[in-house]
A and B are shown apart, each in its own frame.
Chain A
Amino acid sequence: MEILDIEGLSFTYNAADTETLKGISFSVNEGEFIALCGATGSGKSTLLRLLKPQLTPLGARTGNISFLGKPVEECASAADIGFVMQRPEQQIVTDKVWHELAFGLENMGIKQQNIARRTAEMASYFGIEDKFERNTADLSGGQKQLINLAAVMVTEPKLLILDEPTAQLDPITASDFINTVKKLNRDLSLTVIIAEHRLEEVIPLCDKLLIIENGRLIAFGEPKEVLSRVYGREDIMCGMPAAARISAYLGERECALSVKEGRELVRGYNPVPNTPQPAETNTSAAAVLEFRDVYFRYERQLPDVLKGLTFTVNEREIFCILGGNGSGKSTALAAAAGILKPYAGNILVFGKKLKEYRNQSLYKECLALLPQDIQTVFLRNTVREELEDAGADPSELPFDLTPLLDMHPYDLSGGEQQLAALAKVLALKPKLLLLDEPTKGLDAAAKRTIRELLRTLTERGITIVAVTHDVEFAAECADRCALFFRGEIISTAPPEEFFSENSFYTTAASRITRGHYERAVTAEKAAALCRLGGRKAVL
């Protein structure tokens, strides 16, 4: 049954002169799981918001959107279409979990007993019974987003729209969240439209893939079929699952989506040995950051967060620290920046103990930390004022910020915010840059920009330490990777070695090629090896 039908939809924002959406038509059947992808600024959010009358932005719309056979704006109740947005924190309205779940039902004017039943039902379906009476402020990002989903599901919507719901979550939590959405789709035949950057997880699960570019729909259909049509489009393919990228590089007729399909694909090629390139052993390089047996805890009664942490970062390298949630990665970074004070051990920056840097001299042309929540970097109303405050000269930057100078920092996209923050930090001429989750919430293209930028910076003599959850990012840009576990670093190695030794905490490409090709941790490398080996002769 057709649930949503969109015909010739165009939209222009009130203040804009160009159309944001141009003649989009597609239809969705009940129970379908649709992935929507497109670069930042391609009109994804606008399209999704037009589908939800309560969130329709101001502007001129032409074309029809019909929901269950009627124009969507006549669909009276907010309850019928659920909408989950990007930021977990800001969508929460009330202080208690139970009140949050009841909020939508209270709005519908539903009786006490029915609210009690439905909230109870939702809490047990989502497995959040134990958090029912908790304060919403005490939950983690992933739990908050789950509460947001549950709070939308209580009103029994027929269509669920998600606008980059996992952008602010770490990969493991994100994967759990997407699986919960898939479970709703499967159990209740709920129709789902999800816009995502994290396509590795979503593409293998979706029934249909919808790609938009500059406000135009460029492809809509079964994911395999759609992807095989856009093989040549590097800008679109770069965000796709590793298996799909390998298929695209090899020009496979059928596009592989999951790791399982990817493995089958790779097995069709002859194995070739991949001898490791002799690593540039720059053991002579000076140590820039050194942790020696560092112990830290937040409060006396609490357990240690850093337990004898010892590691060294050499000059001009990109050092990526990976590890699970709450393993102490960010704490280590804050300690290196002198924000947290360890109770034992020493931290040396350029061979000098942190304690010996007095009067903020640590932050003068020495070290800078970019936090996870990038918004906290900005204090002024325009990017230009931010840069002036910091004394930055936009022309000296390795990237161009000119189009963004007069915008409010909060209005920038995630990638642009990261660039603006970097510009502000670079004005301080740091020699050691500490980055906490630099790729959080970024799309594939923005990630690539950041990656290339970090390379340029190391060439200019800056050393970079990045804490990240993003294994693909680390595999592609790090000189060395370190695995953080329970307050210490368990192993350190160059990415090829690091990721081919790990079997779970590794890239999709490495999982695809495991046992067939050695040290193929990126899709490019895997595809190159396949090409080198050649397709196996069909017997």
Chain B
Amino acid sequence: MRGFTELNPGVLMIYYLFVIGTAMFCMDPVVIIISLAGAAALFVTLSEKRSVKLHLSFLGLFLIMALINPIWYHNGVTVLFVVNDSPVTLEALLYGIFASAMIIGVLYRLRTFTMIMTADKLLYVFGRLSPQLSLVLSMALRFVPLIRTQTAKVRSTQKALGIYREDNIADTLKGEIRIFSIIATWALENGIITADSMEARGYGEHRRTSFSVFRFTGADGIFLVLTLIPSAVFIAAIASGEADFTFYPAMSGIALTPLSLAGYCAYGFLSLLPCVLEWKEDIRWKYLISRV
């Protein structure tokens, strides 16, 4: 089996839908801790740099969000202390901590998502929906940097010609408007050549197929099953109401029925699966290198 990042983008998309979708709507402390741990571990595994700044900013965000809740909300039966006639309760404090842990977990998860799902992978996923949509997206992705570089070129040319001065706002503005209008003309002009080039290569002649460099292999199938089964178990556990955790007015205990335990295990498996795959790849490489 390949590493997590090299899986088929469609499979990755499904994985992220489940893992983020469930994490966002479940306020069970166990689930939140598992989710945060899994997401952070994956982020650390994937990032090449140490990204200290990012971790610190997430920590800061966590502290702020965790403290806001007990300051604003005074529900809960266990009063810790009273500030300005308003009670600060244990339940509200814990709720704040877990809610922000959940958000930080989701943020870590989204970070790994943007690291893995590059533009061409997203394109592949949407291209499955329609080959036309995929082509339009692909052309748009190409066109944006093209226009940006052309604008920069026009601007530096005009500067060296010194016709549009930059020393007063009116002239600068006038120059900018002209640049904008000529870039629009340029884009249209470009579009005509591109359209010719498309037609010359038979665009619109047949029903299009959509090619991509991504394949669906056995490994993707196995991963898909390993995503869907634990998700089903977890959703069943939540839906049964057995793993239902409430903070207010008093915290309920963590349910330890067979179904809820199965749900926790399933979620833990789901959350840690990508890390395990990546670690396995790392170890395999080290082993291969040590043999060479």
Contacts and interface: CB of A to CB of B under 8 A. Distances in A.
Interface of A: 52, 54-55, 77-79, 82-83, 85, 87, 89-96, 98-99, 102-112, 115-116, 119, 132-133, 135-137, 148, 151-152, 155, 334, 337-339, 359-360, 362-364, 368-369, 371, 373, 375-381, 389-390, 410, 424-425, 428, 434
B14 interface: no
Interface in B174-211: 178-179, 181-182, 185-186, 189-190, 193-194, 196-211
Interface string B136-170: 00110110011001100110111111110111000
Contacts, number: 170
Contact of A108 (B153, B182, B205): B205
A371 B160 contact: yes
Nearest to B180: A379
Nearest to A410: B189
A375 B190 CA distance: 12
Given A377-B161, A378-B182, A90 B205 contact: no
Most chain A CB within a 10 A radius of its CB, from B142, B145, B149, B154: B142
Given A83-B200, A90-B193, A95-B138, A108 B167 contact: no
Contact of B203 (A99, A107, A359, A377): A107
Given A85-B196, A92-B142, A363-B161, A109 B209 contact: yes
Nearest to A371: B157
A110 B201 CA distance: 13
A93 B205 contact: no
Contacts of B145: 135, 137
The B interface is mostly helix, strand or loop, or mixed, namely helix
Most chain B CB within a 10 A radius of its CB, from A339, A371, A376, A378: A376
Interface residues of B, number: 52
Contacts of B150: 376
Contacts of B165: 360
Contacts of A99: 120, 138, 211
A368 B162 contact: yes
B76 interface: no
Given A78-B201, A107-B201, A337-B160, 16 more contacts: A78-B202, A89-B190, A91-B196, A93-B139, A94-B139, A95-B120, A95-B139, A98-B213, A103-B201, A110-B209, A112-B209, A115-B209, A334-B156, A390-B163, A410-B186, A425-B161
B168 to A, nearest CB: 11
Contacts of A116: 211
Contacts of B3: none
A378 B206 CA distance: 40
B135 interface: yes
The 9 closest A-B pairs by CB, nearest first: A363-B162, A78-B202, A90-B193, A369-B160, A109-B206, A95-B142, A102-B211, A91-B197, A104-B201
A244 B210 CA distance: 50
Nearest to B201: A104
Given A78-B205, A94-B135, A371-B157, A54 B199 contact: yes
Nearest to B140: A95
A37 B119 CA distance: 43
Nearest to A101: B211
Nearest to B191: A90
A85 B198 CA distance: 12
Nearest to B120: A96
B153 A133 contact: no
Contacts of A89: 146, 190
A377 B157 contact: yes
A104 B205 CA distance: 10
